Structure 1
């Protein structure tokens, strides 16, 4: 999904996902509903030194003002939560490539995920600790801000919601911080992949429990969160096992050096002849030693048969696949392939196209590695989800 770059904080790019842009006004509306205002007013009144007049908060356009201010304040809190992770990760030498805010909160993207249990433990705890700090600051502000009903309500609400965010994130379920804390503690005495599988199983159990509560409470947003947690737990487990399987392997170990390419001037007719004779349905397009695109059988399918002799692959080719270096980590190459949503990555060395790795190459390598006793790893999560 599309992301929008909105700025940089301490050298970390900040992005807004399109789901965030869509969900923000929905969240503001949800907060501004009379029933929600009344419910939150009770919590704010319990911690505020000032009286909270619910009738005044529900007058005229005040609910909308509160909803917008509270929604923006919440995502500032989420951003600070992710910065807590990011700043702590930096102290351990981990590069943060960006922070993305989206419908389910935020995500700090790390160039290298920590595998030392103590590093992951502190990085995971830093986010909830930041949320607790934000809640404490908001609570302290209640004693110094003017007794203006809207200001008091919004600041008090932010104190409550940031504390709730910290507690909720400590639920032991991926991708929340509690799941990573659990994995870090488990990894003290067992292999990282095994610790991940156990933590993922616990996370799926928590997701099922959360879904049951959501159904009983008629809370559709909570149900969506539960579904997301369940899927994310399985994805985390599989990704970790794949990384373990591909440990110590590079792109060079997996790449195919059978470099079948076409030139931009190749006609569609000539391309189809090669598809039939070579039984290959996708070819990188090579122009003066550089791969400039990719042409596939599906790409040329819509070319009129009467124009195939005059249409070149340059007219119909798609963009060039992403590239990696031959000495790049094999798992990173697989992650690059997944992020591109394509079926291959090119291997480029000193500007030269020296090989490619397709999704089939990865599957074959994983199948072989699973069959080797010294690298045998069950790629299924403990509950059977693959």
Structure 2
């Protein structure tokens, strides 16, 4: 139940469109507030884990505080809320440091396995990366220590005493778990920062921390059930089964997070080399009433990979969609005009030939389309950019090819 994913999107391409006025982003969950201007969302999966915590902790309270009766589940639910409040403090620590370093924070999510701070950009130095990762577990340690110290002011065996004890232990567990040296945990980001600092290469740090994360995932998958089996004499079979299921979920999350970190790091390395000029196809210009077969014949002769629809004066009007062309059987192509298979040019479908990297991805997100007209600074046509070619280049980069 810890913050197993840390600052998830600090390894993802930044998104300039933060849409601060949007009440609920798709998949974001329920908007709870905007401290420091950063939206906080609670996903539906939080209610599932809150119910699970209430059920398990409520059952344990029957032995510790038998006089509570059914009220123990209300106390257990209060603990679930307080626990996730401490997780929120953990995430706010990451957020404040990210804002201090002007990295930008897209949002915070509270979900099934803890919290996620979606940081828009990567830290510029290994020192900042280390501190950005370490501050979350540090705050969890501080909260655990505060709860532990506060127990001296309450009576043991009472509701306040039990709640403080539970919060002290849970925060210390969250801190310890997140300090494990493997991505995507905070400890993995700290390991990445150390290797980055020693080698001078961020990618080397990411690879080392990702492999450590995979080893950690295997250790969690087999280690937690073994520990649970060793304690089986004092626990029920249901508890042992729950531990095994939790181990499997954590192992999958850690393994996938480690792999995702490597893929995103490769993407960051590839982005500077992603240029419009390097991906643009040569295009042939035809009028809208030109038969498709004739347009394709001209494209083959010109060794072009795209067809541009122009008016009588040669001004661009629309782009023929490759996907639509492929759906037309060859025997029908002499009878189908290219204008029926084209999409009219919108302002966002004209891209400067010098566009590259993150600016290119931002432009593609702003106006989704399958093809874009590429123009020079003087307005002349350079060619056509197909999104399929961009996706292929990014897929190859992520796969390390």
Query: Is the contact made by 1:251 and 1:347 (CA closer than 8 Å) also made in structure 2?
Result: no
Q: Which moved more, 1:277-286 or 1:141-150?
A: 277-286
Quick check: 1:363 aligned with 2:392?
yes
Q: Does 1:10 align with 2:19?
A: no
Contact 1:32 1:67 in 2 (8 A): yes
Moved more, 331-340 or 120-129: 331-340
1:86 lines up with 2:86 in the alignment: no
**Match in the other structure for 2:217:** 207
Cα root mean square deviation, aligned: 5.0
Distance apart, 1:322 and its partner CA: 10
How many aligned residue pairs are there?
Answer: 341
* Equivalent residues of 2:108, 2:118 under 8 A apart: yes
Matched, 1:243 2:268: yes
CA distance in 2, matches of 1:363, 1:132: 45
* Preserved CA contact (<8 Å) 1:37 1:54: no
Contact 1:96 1:110 in 2 (8 A): yes
* Equivalence for 1:131: 140
Instruction: Measure the CA separation in 2 of the matches of 1:379 and 1:104.
Output: 30
Match of 1:95 in 2: 104
Instruction: Give the Cα–Cα distance (whole angstroms) in 2 for the partners of residues 321 and 378 of structure 1.
Output: 30
1:348 shift after superposition: 10
Please tell me whether Structure 1 or Structure 2 has the larger radius of gyration of its CA atoms: 2
Asked if 1:256 corresponds to 2:242, the answer is: no
Determine helix, strand or coil for the equivalent of 2:117.
strand
Gaps of 5+ in 2: 1-25, 229-240, 311-315, 329-335
Using the size of structure 1 for normalisation, the TM-score is 0.67
TM-score normalised to structure 2 length: 0.65
* Whole-angstrom distance in 2 between the partners of 1:69 and 1:240: 40
Q: Is the 8 A contact 2:299 2:306 kept in 1?
A: no
Q: Determine the structure 2 residue equivalent to 1:379.
A: 400
Contact kept? 2:140, 2:175, Cα under 8 Å: yes
**TM-aligned CA distance change 1:231 to 1:194, over 3 Å:** same
Could you tell me how far apart the structure 2 residues matched to 1:102 and 1:125 are?
Answer: 21
Secondary structure in structure 2 of the residue aligned to 1:108: strand
CA distance in 1, matches of 2:269, 2:351: 20
Question: 1:227 maps to which residue?
Answer: 252
Q: Deviations over 1:14-56 (max 9, x none)?
A: 123xxx32x334323333346x5576x69xxxxxxxxx94323
Tell me the distance in 2 between the aligned counterparts of 1:365 and 1:197: 19
- Aligned residue runs from structure 1 range 175-324, under 5 A: 175-190=184-199, 191-216=201-226, 217=228, 218=241, 219-247=244-272, 249=273, 251-256=275-280, 296-297=323-324
Q: Which runs of 5+ in 1 are unaligned?
A: 43-51, 302-307, 371-376, 381-386
Q: Establish whether residue 330 from structure 1 lines up as the match of residue 357 from structure 2.
A: yes
Return the structure number with greater relative CO, CA threshold 8 A, min gap 6: 2
1:157: how far off?
1.2
